[in-house]
Amino acid sequence: MSWTRRDVLRLTGMTAGAVAGWSLLAACGSSSDGSAGPVEGAGTAAPRRGGTVRLAFAGGGAGESLDPFAAYSPADLVRGLVLFDRLFNVLDGAPSPALAVSAEPAADAMSFTLTLRQNVTWHDGSPLTAADVAYSLAYLTGPGRTFASELPAYLDIERVSADGELTLTVPTLRPVGDPATLLAGAAMTVIKEGTTSFSPGEVLGTGAFRVTAFEAGREARLTRYEDYWGGPAPADELVIVSVDEAQARVNAAQGGQVDYASDIPYTAARTGAGAAGLEVRDAGAGHRHGYGFVLNTTRELMADPRVRMALRLGVDRQALVDTVFLGYGTPGNDLFGHGAQYFADGIPALERDTDRARALLAEAGADGARLTIRSGDYEVGLNASTELFVEQLRELGLDARAQIVSSTEYFDPEGIAAADALAFTLGPFLLHVIYNRSAAFPSLAFEDEELEQALADAAAATREGERARAWRAAQEVMADRGNWVVWGLGDVLSLAREDLTGVEVRESPKYPYVGEAGFTA
């Protein structure tokens, strides 16, 4: 299985090239006209029908596309979620039926039966059929496609057969005990059979909205699809605008240009909403993003488990949380996947112990060793965390250096391979997505027999209890000797009109489902 640099982007759930939030002079100081701090659980009241909702997300410039298999930036993903539907969605870290109502594995876990929802229609009124799903799976793996997906590694896509109008049999290449989770994690979207073009006039989806106008890197205008299988959406129209700079999104909301600014900087939360009728919203503890460093075990220094443990003991988690998140977050326990099903919340965060860290380094013969930490602000805060981590490692006597590069350059495979550690952030992806994609990238992978066994067990297990045990085992390996230093979990903040409701977090709060968005009466 091979991976492009975009897969890493995809893995991190972030845009290709959303560059470091410059930004200027957040809110003008006074927070008298805004609320004191971020509010949690806001915007859940029932919306009234009608209205145009304008939402700003980080975009992907001229590279944006309506093709759901070419979606990388938050704006692309948000648009895709309301235009198209997936077989399974991710809700609260677990799969939830969407276009598929069930995926039943065979006894040997070497195939599964996919049953589709009834009465789903495309935007031209034609019904959804099994052939559409078969086409979508084949499209995903077509020549020249670079969409990041683990599906081709698991599914025998050439032998997928439609058994009826709404059922398919999908043979697998290796045991798949929980196909729903696999499909949900892969964000498997369904496009109409025969689709070759995704231009605004031609594209067809099954989603709650259809496209009326689209301009890459600028804006998409979507109107309600009345016959949506989930019931018609509240808003008449959605306008999804691409604004790459975080502070520019804040400014746009404060100036009344948009009703919702996603993923705003922590400094904006400090200064307040900045205008009457606006509030800073916090996606909540369940939807935090993990921030950390992935240690490159292909480098001699990081191959030593004592060095890895020393780094984990040497990091000052609280200081990083207080500085990088301005306190809007909590220390992490070195595991990615917080918020996902089977995540090992019970494993505690290590206490800082510089004496033991120094002793371990001495034992490993790594006193004063030189190490390079590569970072690029593809998410704001990574560079800051790297600079601080470097200082903390210097206190351990290590000759640590930060290698700060531009966010697009960051993903250069050769550069990644040459660094000892990488600044990294991950949203609440399903665990198998995180572990499998990391494993496929040599510089990020952690090779360990026990871990690989646990991952294989988790994939093949058809029963809930087995899966939970396998995931527990996998995470214990990572906690014991793994290559992650996940120092913190950061809140995801947005700035919204107080009467805006129905912005629903599914996979990540950075690209929520906005099909139910509307204004309260």
Partner 1 sequence: MTRRDMAHRAIRLLAGRLAVTGGLLLLLSVVVFAGTDLLPGDPATARLGGLGPAEVAEARARLGLDRPLAERYGEWVTGLLRGDLGTSAEGRPVGELLSERLGNSLLLAGLTLAVLVPGSLLLGVAAGLRQGRAVDRAVTTGMLLLAAVPEFVVAGGLVLLFAVTLGWLPAVSLVPAGASPLSVPEVLVLPVLSLLLLGLAYATRLIRAATAAAARAPHVEFMRINGLPPRTVLREGVLPAVLPVALQVWLTTGAGLIGGAVLVERVFGYPGIGDVLIRAVQSGDLPVVQALAMLLGGVMLLALFAADLSTRALTPVLRTAGR
Partner 2 sequence: MTDRTGTGTGRPAITATSAAVLLLLLAMALLGPLLAPHSPTSPVGVPYEAPGGTAPLGTDHLGRDVLSRVLSGGLPMLATSLAAAVLGSLIGVTAGLWAALAGARRAWAEGVVLRPLDAVAALPPLFVLLLALTALPGRAGVIAAVAVAGAPLSARVVRAAAAQAVSRGHVEAAVARGESTAWLLGRELLPLVAGPAAADLGLRFVGAIYLVTAAGFLGLGVGQTDWGLLIAEALPGAALQPTALAVPVLLVAALGVCVNLLADDVLRRWRTVAA
Which residues contact partner 2 by CB under 8 A? 19-29, 246-247, 265, 267, 270-271, 319, 322-323, 326, 376-377, 380, 384, 387-388, 390-391, 394, 403-407, 409
The CA distance from 270 to 280, in Å, is 10
- The smaller minimum CB distance to partner 2, of residues 108 and 395, is found at 395
- The smaller minimum CB distance to partner 2, of residues 21 and 59, is found at 21
The CA distance from 321 to 352, in Å, is 14
Q: Secondary structure of 388-457 in the HEC alphabet?
A: HHHHHHHHCCCEEEEEECCCCHHHCHHHHHHCCEEEEEECCCCHHHHHHHHHCCCCCCCCCHHHHHHHHH
- Answer with the entry of partner 2, partner 1, none that 51 interacts with (C-beta below 5 to 8 A by kind): none
For residue 434, state whether it binds partner 1 (rule: CB under 8 A): no
Residue 281: other Cβ atoms inside 10 A: 28
Least distance in Å: CB of 366 to partner 2? Answer: 21
- The smaller minimum CB distance to partner 2, of residues 21 and 60, is found at 21
- Contact string (CB under 8 A) for partner 1, positions 196-235, x = contact: -----------------xxx-xxxxx--------------
Residue 93 contacts residue 77 (beta carbons within 8 Å): no
Least distance in Å: CB of 248 to partner 1? Answer: 5
Residue 280: other Cβ atoms inside 10 A: 30
Least distance in Å: CB of 310 to partner 1? Answer: 29
Residues in the chain: 521
In a 3-state reduction of DSSP, which class is residue 58? coil
Least distance in Å: CB of 413 to partner 2? Answer: 16
- The smaller minimum CB distance to partner 1, of residues 284 and 442, is found at 442
Residue 88 contacts residue 100 (beta carbons within 8 Å): yes
- The smaller minimum CB distance to partner 2, of residues 89 and 383, is found at 383
The CA distance from 163 to 410, in Å, is 46
Least distance in Å: CB of 371 to partner 2? Answer: 16
Angle at Cα 384 formed by Cα 381 and Cα 385, nearest 5°?
85
Least distance in Å: CB of 82 to partner 2? Answer: 30
Q: Which of residues 392-421 bind partner 1 (CB under 8 A)?
A: 406-409, 411-413
Element (H, E) at 519: strand 518-519
CB burial of residue 141 (10 Å; 0-12, 13-18, 19+):
middle
- The smaller minimum CB distance to partner 2, of residues 21 and 205, is found at 21
Q: Which of residues 338-397 bind partner 1 (CB under 8 A)?
A: none
For residue 237, state whether it binds partner 1 (rule: CB under 8 A): no
For residue 193, state whether it binds partner 1 (rule: CB under 8 A): no
- The smaller minimum CB distance to partner 1, of residues 19 and 91, is found at 19
Q: Which of residues 2-21 bind partner 1 (CB under 8 A)?
A: 2-8, 16-17, 19
Sheet of strand 39-40: strand arrangement = 39-40, 278-282, 493-497, 260-261, 52-57, 237-242, 219-224, 209-215
- Answer with the entry of partner 2, partner 1, none that 126 interacts with (C-beta below 5 to 8 A by kind): none
For residue 236, state whether it binds partner 1 (rule: CB under 8 A): no
- Answer with the entry of partner 2, partner 1, none that 387 interacts with (C-beta below 5 to 8 A by kind): partner 2
For residue 57, state whether it binds partner 1 (rule: CB under 8 A): no
The CA distance from 319 to 268, in Å, is 20
Least distance in Å: CB of 54 to partner 1? Answer: 9
For residue 479, state whether it binds partner 1 (rule: CB under 8 A): no
- The smaller minimum CB distance to partner 2, of residues 387 and 476, is found at 387
Least distance in Å: CB of 189 to partner 1? Answer: 19
Amino acid at 252: A
In a 3-state reduction of DSSP, which class is residue 22? coil
Q: Report DSSP state, residue 497.
A: E
Closest to 13 (Cα-Cα) out of 424, 373, 344 = 424
- Contact string (CB under 8 A) for partner 1, positions 112-151, x = contact: --------------------------------x-x-----
- Answer with the entry of partner 1, partner 2, none that 2 interacts with (C-beta below 5 to 8 A by kind): partner 1
- The smaller minimum CB distance to partner 2, of residues 154 and 325, is found at 325
Q: Which residues of 335-357 are buried (b: 16+ CB within 10 A; e: fewer)?
A: bbbbbbbbbbeebebbebeeeeb
- The smaller minimum CB distance to partner 1, of residues 101 and 239, is found at 239
- Answer with the entry of partner 1, partner 2, none that 257 interacts with (C-beta below 5 to 8 A by kind): partner 1
- The smaller minimum CB distance to partner 1, of residues 98 and 246, is found at 246
Q: Which of residues 273-332 bind partner 1 (CB under 8 A)?
A: 274
In a 3-state reduction of DSSP, which class is residue 314? helix
- Contact string (CB under 8 A) for partner 1, positions 245-264, x = contact: x--xx-xx-xx-xx------
Contacts of 187 (CB under 8 A, 6+ apart): 86, 507
The CA distance from 101 to 98, in Å, is 6
In a 3-state reduction of DSSP, which class is residue 296? coil
Least distance in Å: CB of 28 to partner 2? Answer: 6
Closest to 414 (Cα-Cα) out of 296, 293, 292 = 296
The tokens of 236 are what? 């008449």
The region that residue 353 occupies, defined by phi over 0 for left and psi between -120 and 50 for alpha, beta otherwise, is: beta
Q: Which residues bind partner 1 (CB under 8 A)?
A: 2-8, 16-17, 19, 22, 24-25, 27-28, 56, 61-63, 144, 146, 213-215, 217-221, 241-245, 248-249, 251-252, 254-255, 257-258, 274, 406-409, 411-413, 441
